[in-house]
Amino acid sequence: MNDEINCDLAVVGAGMTGMAASLFAANRGVDTVQIGVASQIIFSSGLLDLLGVHPVEEGNTWDDPFLALDQLIADLPDHPYARVEKSHILKAFQEVTGFLAEGGLVYQVNEGRNTHVITSLGTLKPTYGVPRTMWNSVKALEEKRPGLIIDIKGLRGFSALQITETLKPVWPGLRHARILFPDMQSTQELYTEPMARSLAVPENRKKLADLIRPLAKDVGIVGLPAILGMQDSHDVQQHLEEMIGLPLFEIPTMPPSIPGLRIRETFEMKLPEKGVRLQYQNRVSQISRDKDAFLLEIGSNSPVSRVRARGVILATGRFLGKGLYADRKLIREPLLNLPVYQPGIRPDWHRFDFMDPRGHLINRAGLEIDDRFRPLDNSGKPVFDNLFAAGSILAHQDWMRMKCGSGMAMATAYAAVNAFIERD
């Protein structure tokens, strides 16, 4: 085993919650090590939600996410949002988006209200933070501007025909077309990442523009799957717009998501500049106590190093992130065997109808916490004074249906980091 790494705070998890927690800690001068497999963010659409739907059972969407927060907190006092000062939710969002903008990844908002953004299914999703590469669609939709949606032969899960047909009641002036991506015509199945990275080359952008230009006559805007470059996405978009002579916008695709990859790569490149020591592509296999500190054994298969930390934030997510594990009888937290709030018995975890609008009770399983985001034992007391949890591992929330995933990740990470600092 390699030498021991010492730090103030260990953040376990490399999704949005873990990334945000590491950023907040570093910005406040906390010596931080982050450990995890940075794969979950590629499932993100790149949109940053605060709160879009409440109550879930009614599918009630909100234009004002802050009014929605007031109602959510009144109705669900155990929701993690209810433990974060309302002003801190916005501060957390602004701190993260400011950091992303410094890395070249700019987000835009309609101050104080949600924006409706086109999805790959052709539906409209209420969200708060919108990547600049998607923003042109917002006003075009409001104006019902004639537009063209383009898909790419070989790219699965993205149909311009489906999008235009689904949007027809709200945006009737849309046409659709399909193209062959330059220099990839012979490939049977295409993936978004190679296409996005190929557009870093200006000559490839010219070839793509030459394909789109003759199709875009008599329209005012063009929509494409989200492939407009990686960290150079704004330059790619601007160059293509100049060559085509029209504004462009991206539409999120099915995972793996280029907007999600952009977020991940921005954090990976910029967090070390703030002093965060990254231990990516390694999982924590065990956490133990040594006096008042935690010892974390890390490694892909067997422990290869150890981290000694004065505090730990669990940002390990739910089942996909391996923050929770379900066997035939119970839902468990695997690292410290913490108590997990959950439906009583397995038959209660899921409703009979998979598409039940109320969602499934298992989606609200997770760790119970106090107002300082410390996980609780079965008697309702903090398990450890220097152990915190944030993000989707927390109980009493259904982030996917509530459209609050990114906002809750950032807000609870903000609260957990501040609680660690205040403890010191």
Residue 349: band (very low, low, confident or very high) from pLDDT cuts 50, 70, 90: confident
- Decide if pLDDT at 263 tops 90: yes
What pTM was estimated for this model as a whole?
A: 0.94
Task: Please tell me whether residues 347 and 225 are part of one structural domain.
Answer: no
Q: How many residues does the chain have?
A: 424
Angle between the N-to-C axes of helices 258-270 and 86-102, in degrees from 0 to 180, rounded to the nearest 10 = 80
Domain range holding 193?
Answer: 120-251
The answer to whether 91 touches 414, Cβ cutoff 8 Å, is yes
Asked if the structure places residue 256 within a domain, the reply is: no
Which pair of structure tokens corresponds to residue 207?
Answer: 């070839």
Q: What is the mean pLDDT of the chain?
A: 93
| Phi, psi (rounded to 5 degrees) for 327 | -105, -160
Instruction: Tell me what pLDDT residue 186 has.
Output: 58
Which pair of structure tokens corresponds to residue 236?
Answer: 């790619």
Residue 347: band (very low, low, confident or very high) from pLDDT cuts 50, 70, 90: confident
Final residue belonging to a domain, choices 186, 219, 251: 251
Task: Please tell me whether residues 93 and 176 are part of one structural domain.
Answer: no
- Decide if pLDDT at 350 tops 90: no
Residue 300: band (very low, low, confident or very high) from pLDDT cuts 50, 70, 90: low
| CATH number for the domain that contains residue 59 | 3.50.50.60
For residues 205 and 199, give the distance between their C-alpha atoms in angstroms, rounded to a whole number.
6
pLDDT tens digits along 216-242: 999 999 999 999 999 899 999 999 999
Looking at residue 138, its amino acid is V
pLDDT above 90: percentage of residues in the chain: 81
Task: Please tell me whether residues 229 and 284 are part of one structural domain.
Answer: no
Q: From the centroid of its chain, how far is CA 206?
A: 32
Asked if the structure places residue 368 within a domain, the reply is: yes
Angle between the N-to-C axes of helices 16-27 and 258-270, in degrees from 0 to 180, rounded to the nearest 10 = 30
For residues 331 and 341, give the distance between their C-alpha atoms in angstroms, rounded to a whole number.
8
The answer to whether 17 touches 392, Cβ cutoff 8 Å, is yes
Task: Please tell me whether residues 153 and 90 are part of one structural domain.
Answer: no
Instruction: Tell me what pLDDT residue 291 has.
Output: 87
Decide the pairing of beta strands 32-36 and 4-12: parallel
Q: From residue 363, how far is each of 391, 393, 397 by CA, in Å?
A: 13, 10, 7
- Decide if pLDDT at 405 tops 70: yes
Instruction: Tell me what pLDDT residue 6 has.
Output: 96
> Of 64, 171, 80, which is closest to residue 113 (Cα–Cα)?
64
The answer to whether 31 touches 268, Cβ cutoff 8 Å, is no
> Of 134, 151, 136, 223, which is closest to residue 192 (Cα–Cα)?
151
Which whole number is the average pLDDT over 81-91?
96
| CATH number for the domain that contains residue 138 | 3.40.50.1860
Decide the pairing of beta strands 107-108 and 130-131: antiparallel
Task: Please tell me whether residues 235 and 374 are part of one structural domain.
Answer: no
- DSSP letter assigned to residue 299: E
Instruction: Tell me what pLDDT residue 377 has.
Output: 96
SS3 316: coil
For residues 252 and 226, give the distance between their C-alpha atoms in angstroms, rounded to a whole number.
5
Asked if the structure places residue 92 within a domain, the reply is: yes
Asked if the structure places residue 208 within a domain, the reply is: yes
Number of domain units in the chain: 2
The answer to whether 39 touches 16, Cβ cutoff 8 Å, is no
Instruction: Tell me what pLDDT residue 424 has.
Output: 63
Final residue belonging to a domain, choices 251, 277, 306: 251
Instruction: Tell me what pLDDT residue 40 has.
Output: 75
The alpha-helical segments, DSSP class H, found in 280-404 are 399-402
Which whole number is the average pLDDT over 147-161?
95
Instruction: Tell me what pLDDT residue 187 has.
Output: 62
